[in-house]
Amino acid sequence: MTGLQFSMHHFGLSVPDLDATIAWYTATLDFELEAAYDVAVLPARAAFLRHGAVRVELFEVSGAVPAPENAQDLRVHGLRHVALAVDDIVATRDLLRTRGVEFVSEPATVPGSGGDRYAFFRDNNGILIELFEMYRA
């Protein structure tokens, strides 16, 4: 092997209510609960959810505070959103709307991409999630 090789294992989210977030991700995005556990050193309750190859680790940390208002402003450094790849962005948006999801943006084409499309919505905690459809000729 030459050089480093990576693939995404999971992304982690700090949430105010673990049970409500598990319920939302399983009912709305079809994730499945993989494991739930306690993290004594924080202290926190945590869970892993899975949808195919996508995994999310959720943390409910005792005494945690909400993110600042500008946490998702691109002029502030740090993680801004997670993106989920989909085959059909319009069909996925339409299905999620039937499940009560409100979109922040409608599907739009990525400039200079040749046809890739994206749309944004927020989860039950206000965390920004992107749907991303790769252009297929």
Distances (CA, A) of 111 to 56, 79, 114, 117: 29, 21, 8, 9
Contact 121, 101 (CB under 8 A): yes
Flag whether pLDDT at 99 surpasses 70: yes
pTM greater than 0.75 (yes/no): yes
> 10 Å Cβ neighbour count for 29?
18
Flag whether pLDDT at 75 surpasses 90: no
Flag whether pLDDT at 15 surpasses 90: yes
- Smallest Cα–Cα separation from 131: which of 79, 99, 97, 92? 92
Q: 12 or 136: which carries more pLDDT confidence?
A: 12
DSSP string, 12-49: EEE-S-HHHHHHHHHHHH--EEEEEEEETTTTEEEEEE
- What would be the CATH architecture of the domain defined by 81-137? Roll (3.10)
Flag whether pLDDT at 42 surpasses 70: yes
**pLDDT reported for residue 70:** 77
- Is 8-62 a CATH 3.40.50.300 domain? no
Number of H helices, E strands in the chain: 2, 8
Average pLDDT of the residues in 86-112: 97
**pLDDT reported for residue 76:** 75
Q: Name the DSSP class of 110.
A: P
Domain locations in the chain? 8-62, 81-137
Tokens of 42: 């924080």
**pLDDT reported for residue 10:** 95
